Structure 1
Amino acid sequence: MSSNLDDQYRLRKRPKSEMLVDSGFKSLAVSLASVVALVLFAILIVVFQGGLPSMVRYGWEFLITSDWNPVDDEYGAGAAIYGTLITSILSLFIAIPLGVGTAIFITENIIPKKIRNFIGLMVELLAAVPSVVLGLWAIFVMEPFIRPGLEMLYTYLGWFPLFSSPPMGPGTLPAVLILVVMILPIITAISRDSLQQVPKRLTQAAYGIGTTRWGAIINVTLPAAISGIVGGVMLALGRAMGETMAVTMIIGNSNNFSFSLLAPGNTISAMLANQFGEADGSQVSSLMYAAFVLMIMTLAVNILAQLLVKRLSLKY
């Protein structure tokens, strides 16, 4: 029936005004999409040109060394790159089970609807809290609260490289925890929307063949929504890699490389926020080089997200 209606729509004689509106809308949509692509391309070009002198001078060693000495004109972003990767990945490992679990808790009829709606509202409000406020909360509330636990990690696991330095307040691990708070609403909200889009007949069919509630969730609901969940996770990873203010306030902003999560560290975004305002000469070029590296990292994350979502959509 619908195909016949489509054929009739294509075969009918359309007035010129309607065709003109369609053509104008198509041109407008293409123009707006092109503007977005051109802006992104222009940003890449500007950042690349700004960092080109440092690229020529330092080459690949800039990515693996951690010397940042404006006096001697020596720069390396190895510590900041390591800090960006380790904080983003660890925060993702903590936030994924929390976010997906919260989404399942909200979408499934485990508790009364009013409580589920309230929890969903609180998650959305958490995403609206400014990052500078979360940074202040991390400094004055979270870090003093977790400090005894960090000292226990150093006391009993100090032989392990990740906990080999005594906690001195701001550090990499507190930055990981504040990133968990910041990306948790993204994973929860997108996972919840993906789970709600799963047709009810799939879970009802699973119940019909005798599976349990958790069997239906694990074997039917989650696989059906996995592409959306993965898309949300990769979006949260991009947010974690580019987060600036809250991380800057709690990570310690140290360019000394250390594997320890208890030691002060740095990220590319925090380094740019701290130094760009008063930088000059080759330091500006080095910061632009670091910014270009960050853009390439986030671009790679987005491309990987698109590939994963497409592959999982085809599989499930």
Structure 2
Amino acid sequence: MLKRTGERADGLAVGGAPAEYVSPAEYGPRPLHADPGLPDRIFRGVARGGGALVLAVMLLVGGFLLYRAWQALERSGWSFLTTEAWEPDAGRFGIAAVIVGTVLIALVAIVVAIPLAVGGALYISEYAPLRIRRTLISVVDLMAAVPSVVYGLWGLFFFEGAVLPTARWLATYLGWFPPFRVVGIDPRDPLATETVYTSSTLIAGIVVALMVAPIICSVMREVFAQAPAGEREGAYALGATRWGMIHSVVLPFGKGGMIGGTMLGLGRALGETIAVYLIISPVFQVQWHVLQSGTSSVSSLIALRYGEASPFGMSALMAAGLALFVMTLIVNFAASSIVARSRSGAASDA
């Protein structure tokens, strides 16, 4: 039994009177109250207000898109998700083709961008000499700030012609893989035209990859640089090589940042407009063959049809934008959930 303050070891209170018996169950944690002070209260209020404002803006954007798209969605119903054609004024419209094109372009971009971003981030944070590290960081950040129209023009006038031999080689030797198959020509025929490989999903995806790789690289580099020094030194002390230390310490620590950076790049790749619009040749049918000319995306569809859309056609475009908005939210929420379960940011125990 615990004794109250002022009780002596023989059970008598101070002054000789018997101590009052108190059950241990009556003892509980003392309530603690700490006044954070006015600056902390102001900061907490501003932070909560900022978070609430972001959520409110997101809800307002979604509500606006839903309101403007309701007329088209009410008429089309679930066929909006399965129809490939885009003829709103004729009553035949849907996003099946443009959603598939959007996802394929984004997947090509991510597959190409991830190795570039991981390699660049690891070189800058782990291998680059200090005298050139700042320069490399500035160059990567500058690449992330280049307008998308510049990438689109570069892809249209230079890269498209340079990548055609590679696309033909892929169709020739990897055509057994369905996405690399080209319909209508024999890629082994030396007289076959190469125009079938222009304006393809592959070209648009690679151009978008060069746009999102600097963003992903910057996020990964920041996370890799924060890997705990104690764990790094512990790995070296156990005889690890530099790559062994990276494999056992840096990469596991940066897993959440790698996923978050990738999802951030994927979000931009899904919504990229101008560069894709300049490169692709729009077709409103599901195009699974990434090497073949013709594809489409939600953002390029909106840019292409916005100027000539009727009031109902505008509602249909708003419905397509709503679908892209929901898809981007799903990607971002999935990324947040994965990052929250990762180890990135954990302190070293060494």
Structure 1 partner of 2:336: 306
Aligned letter for 1:101? Answer: G
Please tell me whether Structure 1 or Structure 2 has the larger radius of gyration of its CA atoms.
2
Deviation per CA, 1:116-135, whole angstroms, max 9, x where unpaired? 33322221111111100110
Render the CA deviation track for 1:248-286: whole Å, top value 9, x for unaligned. 111222223221112210111111111122211322121
Where structure 2 has 5 or more consecutive residues not aligned to the other structure, the ranges are 1-32, 186-195
State whether structure 2 residue 91 is matched by structure 1 residue 73: yes
Amino acid in the other structure paired with 1:99: A
Which one of 271, 286, 303 corresponds to residue 242 of structure 1?
271
Q: With structure 1 as the length reference, what TM-score do the two structures score? A: 0.88
| Cα 1:156/1:71, change in 2 over 3 Å | farther
Give 1:54 shift: 2.1
- Correspondence 1:229 to 2:258: yes
Pairing of 1:133-282 with structure 2 (within 5 A): 133-162=150-179, 163-165=181-183, 167-261=196-290, 262-282=292-312
In structure 2, distance between residues paired with 1:79 and 1:314:
38
List aligned pairs for 1:79-90, cutoff 5 A: 79-90=97-108
Counterpart CA distance in 2 for 1:188 and 1:313 is 19
Q: Matched residues in 1 for 2:226 and 2:174: separation?
A: 44
Name the aligned partner's letter for residue 291 of structure 1: G
Q: 3-state DSSP class of the match of 1:219?
A: helix
Superposed CA deviations along residues 123-160 of structure 1, whole A, max 9, x for unmatched, are 11111111001100000010011112222333444454
Match of 1:119 among 136, 150, 173: 136
Deviations 1:90-109 (A, max 9, x none): 2112211210111111111x
1:30 Cα shift?
3.2
**Distance in 2, Cα, partners of 1:101 & 1:60:** 43
Aligned to 1:278, what secondary structure does the other structure show? Answer: coil
Alignment of 1:286-301 (within 5 A): 286-301=316-331
| Percent identical | 36
Q: Which amino acid aligns with 2:265?
A: A
Letter in 2 for 1:208: A
> Separation in 1 of the partners of 2:78 and 2:334?
23
Alignment counterpart, residue 122 of structure 2, candidates 86, 100, 104: 104
Contact 2:100 2:287 in 1 (8 A): no
Structure-2 separation of matches of 1:300 and 1:208: 43
The equivalent of 1:4 in structure 2 is none
Conserved in 2, the CA contact under 8 Å of 1:157 and 1:164? no
- CA shift at 1:81, angstroms? 0.2
Superposition RMSD in Å: 2.2
Letter in 2 for 1:122: V
Q: Which residue of structure 1 aligns with residue 9 of structure 2?
A: none
**Structure 2 counterpart of 1:6:** none
Deviation at 1:200, TM superposition (A): 1.3
Q: Normalization by structure 2: what TM-score?
A: 0.80
Q: CA deviation at 1:113?
A: 2.0
SS at structure 1 position matched to 2:199: coil
Per-residue Cα deviation, 1:76-97 (whole angstroms, up to 9, x for no partner): 1111100111111221122112
- Whether the 8 Å CA contact 1:179–1:240 is kept in 2: the answer is yes
CA distance, structure 1, for counterparts of residue 63 and residue 332 of structure 2? 19
Alpha-carbon offset, residue 246 of structure 1: 0.6
Residue 65 of structure 1: how far off its partner (Å):
2.0
Q: How many residues align?
A: 301
8 A contact 1:67–1:74 mirrored in 2: yes
Instruction: Return the structure number with greater helix share.
Output: 1
* Partner-residue secondary structure (3-state), 1:308: helix
- The match for 2:80 is 62
CA contact (8 A) 1:73 1:282 kept: no
- Aligned residue for 1:263, secondary structure, equals coil
Partner of residue 193, structure 2 = none
Aligned mate of 1:44, from 33, 40, 62: 62
Task: Point out where structure 1 has 5 or more consecutive residues left out of the alignment.
Answer: 1-9
Query: 2-side partners of 1:132 and 1:268: how far apart?
Result: 17
Mean CA deviation greater in 281-290 or 178-187 = 281-290
The Cα shift of 1:239 comes to 0.8
The structural deviation recorded for 1:296 is 0.6
Q: Find the aligned partners of 2:228 and 2:46 in 1 and give their Cα distance.
A: 35
- Cα pair distance change 1:29/1:156, threshold 3 Å: closer
